[in-house]
Amino acid sequence: MRILETCSHTFLLLRTPEGSEITSLDGELVFSRKIFCRGAQNLGLGLGITSGPWRTLGPRPHQSPVLSGRRGAGSLGRGVFGFPLSFSSLSHFLFPPVPSRPLSPGPGDAPPAGSRPPSPGTRRRRIPAGPRSAKSEAQDGKLQKSSPLCPPPRLSRNSRPSALAPQLIHSPGAGVSQRVRPASTLASARAPPAPLRTRPGSRSPLPAGIPGPMALFAIFQKTFLLALLSWRTYQSEVLAEYLSLTPESLKVFTNSACQCLQLQWNVHGLPYHQELKMVFQMEISRIRPSNVIWVGNYSTTVKRDQVLHWSWESELPLECATHFVRIQSMVDDAKFPKLSIWSNWSSWEEVHVQDYPGPSTLLVFPKNKLVEEGSSITICYISGINHNNITCYLHNELIHGEQLDPKASAFKLNNVSFFKRSGTNFFCKVNQTDIQNGTTFFVSKVLEEPKNFSCETQDFETLKCTWYPGVDTGLDWNIQHSQSYTLFESFSGKKQSCKHKDSCDWKITQDSQEMYNFTLTAANNLRKRSVNIIFNLSHRVHPMAPHSVHFENRGATTVLMSWKVHVLGNYLTLQCQVELEGNGKVIQHRVDMKVNGEHLFGELVPDTQYVARVRCANAKHFWKWSEWTVENFTTPEAAPSEAPDVWRIVKSEKGSHIVSLFWKPLSKIHANGKILFYNVVVENLDKPSTSELYPIPASTRDANLTLDLCSYQIHITANNSVGTSPASVIVISGDSGKKTEEIEEEKINSTEDGFFMSWKPLSGDVVGYVVDWCEHRQDLFCNLQWKKLGPNTTSTLISSDTFRPGVRYNFRIHGISMKNIAYLLENKTGYFQELAPLDSPQVNITNLTSRSFAMTWKDYATESQPGFIQGYRVYLKARNRQCHPGFEKEVLSDDLIRCKFDIDDPRKKTFIMENLQPESSYEFFVTSYTGVGEGPNGTFTEVTTSDEPYHKLIRIILPMILFVSIIIVACYWKSEWVKEKCYPDIPDPYKSSILSLIKSKENPHLTIMNVKDCIPDAIEVINKPEGTKTQLLESRKPVRESPLIEPVYLYLQDEKKSSHPGSFICFENLTYNQSASDSGSCGHVPVPPEDSPRQLGLLTSPDNLLKTLEKNYMNSLGEIPAEETSLNYVSQLASPMTGDKDSLPTNPPVPAHCSEYKMQMAVPPMPCLPSP
Partner 1 sequence: MRGCSGPYQQLLSQLQRQANLTEDTSSLLEPYIQHQDLNTPILRGSCTEHPGAFPSKDALRGLSKQSFLWTVNTTLGRVLKGLVTLQKQLLKPQDLEELETAKRNIQGIRNNIHCMSWLLNGSSETVEPMPTGPGPWLPLTSALGVFQAKLEGCRFLRGYHRFMGSVGWVFREWGESPSRSRRHSPRRALHKGVLKTRIFRRGKRPVPRGHLPW
H or E stretch including 1114? Answer: helix 1102-1119
Residues 756 and 760: their CA atoms lie apart, in Å, by 14
Task: Give whichever of 470 and 640 is closer to partner 1, judged by the CB atom.
Answer: 470
Q: In what order do the strands lie in the sheet with 609-618?
A: 585-593, 574-582, 609-618, 629-634
Helix or strand or coil: residue 798? strand
Written as one string, the DSSP assignment of 71-102 is: S--SEEEE-TTS-EEEHHHHHHHHS-------
Q: Is the CB of 479 or the CB of 716 nearer to partner 1?
A: 479
Tell me the one-letter amino acid at 552: E
**Closest separation between CB of residue 501 and partner 1, Å?**
13
Parallel, antiparallel, or unpaired for β 503-507 and 462-468?
antiparallel
- Output the smallest distance, CB 421 to partner 1, in A: 6
Does position 419 interact with partner 1 (CB under 8 A)? The reply is yes
Q: Tell me the three state secondary structure of residue 439.
A: strand
Residue type, 566: H
| Minimum CB–partner distance for residue 145 and partner 1 (Å) | 22
In this chain, which stretch among 270-278, 430-438, 501-509, 892-900 interacts with partner 1, using CB under 8 A? Answer: 430-438
Instruction: State the minimum distance, in angstroms, from the CB of residue 476 to partner 1.
Output: 5
Q: Cβ–Cβ contacts within 10 Å for residue 312, how many?
A: 24
Q: Mask 370-409, x = binds partner 1 (CB under 8 A)?
A: -----------------------x-xx-------------
Nearer to partner 1, 441 or 1051 (CB): 441
Angle between helices 1102-1119 and 1026-1035 (to 10 degrees): 20
Phi/psi of residue 1118, nearest 5 degrees? -65, -25
User: Which listed residue (237, 476, 948, 1091) binds partner 1 by CB under 8 A?
Assistant: 476
Site for partner 1 contains 475 (CB under 8 A): yes
Residues 6+ apart with CB under 8 A from 258: 144, 147, 149, 150, 313
**Closest to 46 (Cα-Cα) out of 13, 3, 10:** 3
550 binds partner 1 (CB under 8 A): no
Q: How far is the CB of 317 from partner 1 (least distance, A)?
A: 12
Pick the stretch among 413-421, 820-828, 862-870, 1121-1129 that binds partner 1 (CB under 8 A): 413-421
Nearest-angstrom CA–CA distance, 269 and 620 = 67
Q: Residue 436 or residue 996: which is nearer to partner 1 going by CB?
A: 436
Q: State which of positions 122-161 bind partner 1 (CB under 8 A).
A: none
Give min distance, CB of 446 to partner 1, in A: 17
Q: Which long-range contacts (CB under 8 A, 24 or more apart) does 969-975 make?
A: none
Residue 191 within binding range of partner 1, rule CB under 8 A: no
Please give the backbone phi and psi of residue 464, each rounded to the nearest 5 degrees, phi first: -105, 115
Residue in 147, 368, 503, 557 binding partner 1, rule: CB under 8 A: 368
Residue 479: partners with Cβ closer than 8 Å, 6 or more residues away:
368, 370, 423, 442, 525
Per CB under 8 A, 469 contacts partner 1:
no
* Minimum distance, C-beta of residue 403 to partner 1, in the bound complex (Å): 22
Rounded to an integer, what distance in angstroms lies between the CA atom of residue 370 and that of residue 878? Answer: 97
Task: Return the residues of window 348-367 that contact partner 1 according to CB under 8 A.
Answer: 364, 367
Which x/- pattern, by CB under 8 A, does the window 882-921 give for partner 1? ----------------------------------------
Q: Are 652 and 738 a contacting pair, CB within 8 Å?
A: yes
Shortest spacing between CB 435 and partner 1, in angstroms? 11
Least separation in angstroms between CB 113 and partner 1: 41
Q: In this structure, how many other beta carbons lie within 10 angstroms of the beta carbon of residue 817? A: 18
Shortest reach from residue 472's CB to partner 1, in Å: 8
- Between CA 503 and CA 510, with CA 508 as vertex, the angle to 5 degrees is 175
User: Whole-angstrom Cα distance, residue 799 to residue 412?
Assistant: 83
Contact between 420 and partner 1 by CB under 8 A: the answer reads yes
CB of 393 to partner 1, least distance (A): 7
Instruction: Determine if 500 is a binding residue for partner 1 (CB under 8 A).
Output: no
Residues 6+ apart with CB under 8 A from 675: 640, 665, 666, 698, 718, 719, 720
Which residue from 421, 788, 1057, 1141 is in contact with partner 1, where contact means CB under 8 A? 421
Of 185, 424, 635, 829, the one binding partner 1 (CB under 8 A) is 424
Q: Which of 59, 205, 384, 474 binds partner 1 (CB under 8 A)?
A: 474
How many residues of this chain bind partner 1 (CB under 8 A)? 31
User: In the bound complex, what is the minimum distance in angstroms from residue 360's beta carbon to partner 1?
Assistant: 16
- Residue 478, interface with partner 1 (CB under 8 A)? yes
As a whole number of angstroms, the distance between CA 562 and CA 579 comes to 13
Rounded Cα distance between 619 and 575, Å, is 5
Report in angstroms how near the CB of residue 149 gets to partner 1 at its nearest: 12
Q: Can you tell me which of 71, 268, 451, 481 binds partner 1, judged by CB under 8 A? A: 481
Site for partner 1 contains 418 (CB under 8 A): no
Region from 338-346, 377-385, 473-481, 804-812 binding partner 1, contact rule CB under 8 A: 473-481
Nearest to 232 by CA among 13, 488, 9: 13
**Binder to partner 1 among 220, 234, 468, 477 (CB under 8 A)?**
477
Looking only at the bridges linking them, the beta strands covering 436-444 and 370-372 are: parallel
Looking at the Cβ atoms of 483 and 720, the one nearer to partner 1 is 483
Q: Which is nearer to partner 1, 340 or 425 (CB)?
A: 425
| Identified binder of partner 1 from the candidate list 48, 65, 423, 606, rule CB under 8 A | 423
Helices (H), 683-766: none
Instruction: Name the residue among 1106, 1113, 1117, 1110 with its Cα closest to residue 1000.
Output: 1117
d(CA 1139, CA 1137): 7
User: Which of residues 344 and 424 has its CB atom nearest to partner 1 in the complex?
Assistant: 424
> Pattern 432-451, binding to partner 1, x per CB under 8 A?
----xxxxx-x---------
By C-beta, is 28 or 502 nearer to partner 1?
502
Closest residue by Cα to residue 612 from 595, 597, 592, 634: 634
Give the sign of the dihedral formed by CA 979, CA 981, CA 986, CA 987: positive
Question: Phi and psi for 981 in degrees, rounded to 5?
Answer: -80, -35
Q: Considering the complex, what minimum distance in angstroms separates the CB of residue 585 from partner 1?
A: 50
Given the complex with partner 1, which of 379 and 718 has the nearer CB atom? Answer: 379
Query: What is the smallest separation between the CB atom of 363 and partner 1, expressed in angstroms?
Result: 11
User: DSSP state, 946?
Assistant: P
Distance CA 574, CA 22 (A): 79
First to last CA, the chain: 183
Give me the least distance between CB of 415 and partner 1, in Å please.
19
Phi and psi at residue 942, to the nearest 5°? -100, 135
Binding segment for partner 1 (CB under 8 A), chosen from 30-38, 241-249, 425-433, 1086-1094, is 425-433
Binding residue for partner 1, selected from 10, 249, 425, 557, defined by CB under 8 A: 425
d(CA 439, CA 331): 45
Q: Which residues make up the interface to partner 1 (CB under 8 A)? A: 364, 367-368, 393, 395-396, 419-427, 429, 436-440, 442, 472, 474-479, 481-482
